[in-house]
Amino acid sequence: MSDASDFSPDDERSGTPVDPEHAAADEALIDALPGLFRLTGGVWWRTAQWAVLTSAQVSSRLMQAALSRESAARLLEDVEGEMREYALRILGLGEGDHRRGPGAGHDDGARASAGYGGAPASLRERGAELLRRSADVTYDEAAHPAYERILGELAPDEGRILRLLVLEGPQTAIDVRTSKTLNVTSELVAPGITMIAAQAGCRYVERVPGYLNNLYRLGLIWFSREPLAEQGRYQVLEAQPDALQALRSGKGRGRLSRTVRRSILLTPFGEDFCRVCLPLETAELDALPADVAVSAVAAADVDAAAAAAEDAAEAGEVARETETAEAAEDAVAGKGPHSSR
C-alpha cells in the first residue's frame, strides 16, 4: 500500500498519485523561466540593434561607393567583411575565432613561440646553443660549418682556380686604361686581365671572370689593388693576346694606353677552406686519370708559352711607345723624367 504522504489534496480527490521527480523538474523549470525570458530578450535586442546598425552602415557604404564610382566587386567585398566583423562582435567572438579548425592550435603555437622581433623560438634556441658551445672548452670543431654549403656552390673549374692560388700563391692581374693628354682623365678599356684560366687549366675559359666573381662573393678570394713584387710576371701577362688587343684598342682611339697592375689572392678564410676541403698534395690527386689531371694544364701552359714568345717583340714595342709618351707628358707637366714602375 502507498503511504499517505504521496498524495496531494487534489490527488486525493482525483485518486492519481504524484511522482516526486516530476514535481522537482517542474519547480526547476518555473525557477528558470525568468532567466530564459531575459536571455530571449537580450538576443532579440542584439538582433534588432545589429539589423538597424547594419542597415545604416550598408546604406552609407552604398552612397560612398556611388559617389566614388567603386567597382561592384570591391563594394561587395568590403560590405561582406564589415558585416562579418560586426556580427562576430555582437556574438562576442574574437577576431579569427570563426576560422578555428584542426590547424588553429598549431598556428597559435607558432605565433606564441615567436620571440623578440618575430623571430621563431627555434632560431633563438639555435643561437643559445651556439653560445653554449662557444663556452664549452671541450667542444672541438673540425671545420667551419659553412664549408659544406660552399662546396655545393662551386664549379669544378673554380676548384682548379682555388688549388692554383693555394699552391702557387697570388696571381697577377692588369687593367688596361686609356688617358688623354696630361693624364687628366682616363677610361677603362679592359678590366681584370689574368692568366688564371691557362695556369689553372680551366675547361671553360670564357667563364673565368664569373668564376672569380663567385669566389669573391663566397669570401674565398680578394681583388687587391697592390701589385706583386715580381714585375717579370706582369711583363708576361702584358704580352698575352687579350692585353695586346686592349692596348691596341686604346691606341686606336687616339689616346695613350697604359696598364694598371693589380693582384688576386686568397683570403685567410679561403686559405683555410682550401687546406680543409681540397686535395692538394695527396694521393687522391695522384689517383686521378692522367688525361683529366694533367693534359689540360700542360696544353694550357704550352699555348701560353708559345703566345708569349710570339708576341714578346710586339709587346716590347708597345711598352716602349707607351713609356715614351708618358715621359713626354711628364716633361710637359714639369714632373721630370718618367719613373719606372
**Domain ranges across the chain:** 12-95, 148-333
Residues comprising the chain, all counted: 341
pLDDT of residue 178: 86
Q: Please give the average per-residue pLDDT across 80-101, as a whole number.
A: 60
pLDDT of residue 218: 96
- Whether the full predicted model's pTM is greater than 0.75, yes or no, is no
State the Cα–Cα distance between residues 29 and 298, nearest whole angstrom. Answer: 104
Task: Collapse the DSSP code of 256 into the 3-class scheme (helix H, G, I; strand E, B; otherwise coil) and give the result.
Answer: strand
State the Cα–Cα distance between residues 116 and 334, nearest whole angstrom. Answer: 65
Q: Which of 95-104, 129-138, 158-167 has the lowest mean pLDDT?
A: 95-104
Q: Name the residue type at position 294.
A: V
Report the CATH architecture of 148-333: 2-Layer Sandwich (3.30)
Give yes or no for residue 281 having a pLDDT over 90. Answer: no
State the Cα–Cα distance between residues 69 and 92, nearest whole angstrom. Answer: 35
